[in-house]
């Protein structure tokens, strides 16, 4: 049996408790207050800075996909970094990027890299198939 590092466990906690359970109140126990998130999606908003902006972003996605679920396909840790390859599923029940609810079930994936300091996520690089998601909603 392979043991997970503390950093891998923290990223798993972020995904399972904050995202999948839709508990933004747990963010403060996993994410630094001055966290910086770098989106890789072309045309996306600039970097998200701070836990309050992250809570707002989480809220928008959960408004659009109330049943949002992330499956961690791979977690790889090295030093202060954790890479996560994931698959997301959900039903489009609210507005997202100007697209009204379609009721469609969607699936998309991505790879995120997290930098942790003292078991807290302090930086996060997002790279997901947002374009593929938008095609499913069009």
What does the pLDDT average to over 24-43? Answer: 85
Percent of the chain at pLDDT > 70 equals 93
User: What's the domain count of the chain?
Assistant: 1
Q: What is the extent of the structural domain holding 119?
A: 6-137
Task: For residue range 47-77, list pLDDT tens digits in order.
Answer: 778 899 889 888 998 999 999 999 999 999 9
Mean pLDDT lowest for which of 16-20, 43-47, 76-80, 123-127? 43-47
Report CA torsion sign: 71, 15, 3, 129: positive
Is 129 inside any structural domain? yes
pTM above 0.85, yes or no: yes
- Residue 46 pLDDT grade (very low, low, confident, very high; cuts 50, 70, 90): low
Long-range contacts of 126-133 (CB under 8 A, 24+ apart): 126/37, 126/38, 126/39, 126/40, 126/41, 127/40, 128/40, 128/41, 128/88, 130/41, 130/44, 131/41, 131/42, 132/108, 133/106, 133/108
- Residue 79, CA atoms < 13 Å, CB-side half-sphere: 3
Question: Which residues in 48-94 belong to E strands, given as ranges?
Answer: 48-49, 69-78, 81-91
State the distance between the two ends of the chain, measured CA to CA, in whole angstroms.
44
What's 114's domain CATH number?
A: 3.10.450.50
Task: For residue range 88-102, list pLDDT tens digits in order.
Answer: 999 999 999 899 999
Is 1 inside any structural domain? no
Q: What is the dihedral of CA 122, 125, 129, 131, to 10 degrees?
A: 100
pLDDT over 70 (residue 40): no
pLDDT value for 2: 63
State the DSSP string of 97-119. TTBPP---EEEEEEEEEEEEETT
Is 100 inside any structural domain? yes
pLDDT over 60 (residue 122): yes
pLDDT value for 95: 94
């Amino acid at each position: 049996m392979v043991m997970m590092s503390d950093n891998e466990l923290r990223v798993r906690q972020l995904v399972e408790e904050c995202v999948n359970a839709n508990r933004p109140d747990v963010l403060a126990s996993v994410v630094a207050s001055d966290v910086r998130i770098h989106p890789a999606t072309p045309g996306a908003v600039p970097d998200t800075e701070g836990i309050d902006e992250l809570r707002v972003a989480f809220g928008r996605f959960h408004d659009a996909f109330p049943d949002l679920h992330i499956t961690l396909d791979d977690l790889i840790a090295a030093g202060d970094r954790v890479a996560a390859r994931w698959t997301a599923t959900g039903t489009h029940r609210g507005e997202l990027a100007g697209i009204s609810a379609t009721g469609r079930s969607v699936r998309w994936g991505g790879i995120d890299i997290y930098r942790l300091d003292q078991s807290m996520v302090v930086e996060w690089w997002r790279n997901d198939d947002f374009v593929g998601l938008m095609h499913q909603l069009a």
